[in-house]
Amino acid sequence: MLKKFLPKDYVKSIYEITPELLKERNIKGIITDLDNTLVEWDRPLATPKLTQWFKNMSDHGIHVVIVSNNNEKRVHAFAEPLGIRYIYKAQKPIGKAFRKALAMMDLQKEETVVIGDQLLTDILGGNRSGFHTILVVPVAQTDGWMTRINRSIERKLLKWFDKKGLLHWEGSSSGK
């Protein structure tokens, strides 16, 4: 049961995920969370570095859809200037938004990764829906109030995974 929370891969930053790496795995699409995955939860717009990351993905034919539990105003204001498709109020970890994003890209699950910073929403939802999941270290040390509740549960899961040697995560007892 707990393995549903275990990502297939994990990285310190979204920038470690390159088009070349994805193409080696025959990945043509990304379903990504927004807040604390791409930018801090309270940063309204993309950084220049992130804008370049999106452009690089597009230049290599890799589709990106933002799937966020946040509201339409937040997600639209972030995604629209970038020309990135998005789904707001996704209700992750429920699978409906993941299936909708897949249909928007006209891809198969095997050609798509789910990227996020939370085990209880992004990773659980992606795993339950049959995607390859990638956990990233949150870009900010602070969270909105609802996420803070999830983080307390998440810390226990991460400690358990670390203890079992399944995932060595920043802040875990292994020191990584």
What's the pLDDT tens digit per position in 152-166?
788 888 888 888 888
At 84 the pLDDT is: 98
H/E run at residue 151: helix 145-163
CATH of the domain at 128: 3.40.50.1000
- Per the domain annotation, does 171 fall within a domain? no
Of 80, 73, 66, whose CA–CA distance to 116 is shortest?
66
At 35 the pLDDT is: 93
At 80 the pLDDT is: 97
Residue 141: band (very low, low, confident or very high) from pLDDT cuts 50, 70, 90: confident
pLDDT at 2 over 50: yes
For residue 12, the enclosing domain spans: 2-163
CA dist., res. 61 & res. 28, Å (int): 7
pLDDT tens column, 39-76: 998 888 999 999 999 999 999 999 999 999 999 999 99
At 154 the pLDDT is: 81
pLDDT tens column, 76-126: 999 999 999 999 999 999 999 999 999 999 999 999 999 999 999 999 999
Number of domains in the chain: 1
- Per the domain annotation, does 175 fall within a domain? no
DSSP state of 88: -
pLDDT tens column, 10-32: 999 999 999 999 999 999 999 99
Q: How many Cβ atoms sit within 10 Å of the Cβ of residue 141?
A: 7
Beta strands per DSSP E along the chain: 9-11, 29-32, 63-67, 85-87, 112-116, 132-136
pTM: 0.87
At 153 the pLDDT is: 80
Q: Average the pLDDT over 124-134 and give the result.
A: 97
- Per the domain annotation, does 98 fall within a domain? yes
- Does 55 or 3 have the greater pLDDT score? 55
Of 150, 117, 110, 121, whose CA–CA distance to 134 is shortest?
117
Letter string b/e over residues 13-43, b meaning 16 or more CB atoms within 10 A of that residue's CB:
ebeebebeebeeeebbbbbbbbbbbbbebeb
CA dist., res. 118 & res. 7, Å (int): 10
- Per the domain annotation, does 152 fall within a domain? yes
How far are the Cα atoms of 9, 20, 27, 124, 134 from residue 24, in angstroms, in the given order? 15, 6, 8, 25, 15
- Per the domain annotation, does 86 fall within a domain? yes
Residue 168: band (very low, low, confident or very high) from pLDDT cuts 50, 70, 90: confident
Letter string b/e over residues 81-117, b meaning 16 or more CB atoms within 10 A of that residue's CB:
ebebebbbebebbebebbeebbebbebebebbbbbbb
- Per the domain annotation, does 67 fall within a domain? yes
- Per the domain annotation, does 170 fall within a domain? no
Token pair of 152 as six digits: 């307390």
**To 5 degrees, how large is the angle CA 30–CA 148–CA 50?**
35
pLDDT tens column, 31-41: 999 999 999 98
